[in-house]
Structure 1
Amino acid sequence: SGTGAQNGRDLYIVPPDPQVMAEAVLRLLEDESEWKRLAQNGRKFIQTHYNWQQTINHMEQFLRTITDINKSQ
């Protein structure tokens, strides 16, 4: 997914197909333990990778990159 999240551990990655999406939703509705596991892992992933400190770190890196590009021109 490009985020570091793993399909089946942190989220379900499904193609943009209504039938496949519906099947993934039904799978979670029918299996409460799977739904809870996925919810817990997904929440943990978001809290770890998408908090304010991570956002600031990414912004600082981006600003350094564009500053370096401008200096070299």
Structure 2
Amino acid sequence: MQRLRIKEWARIRETSVEIAEAIFELANNDEVKAQQIWDEGSDEVLPLAFSKTDADRLYWGEETIERKNV
């Protein structure tokens, strides 16, 4: 999925782009599978998402995740 579409997907879900990118990477760019991962969660997403940024906080919908807790 193109980066612009991932950014829009993340914006709609009020989710950090890094988390969206990690989700799509784990879903092999399959949007249906990505939505399932977003809905259900996955232990693999957060370490991958934080590896893409220097930020100490990322957002997954209404949840704020801090790097120190990953």
TM-score w.r.t. the length of structure 2 is: 0.27
Higher relative CO (CA 8 A, sep ≥ 6), structure 1 or 2?
2
Which structure's residues are more often strand, by fraction?
2
Structure number with bigger Rg: 1
Which structure's residues are more often helix, by fraction?
1
TM-score w.r.t. the length of structure 1 is: 0.27
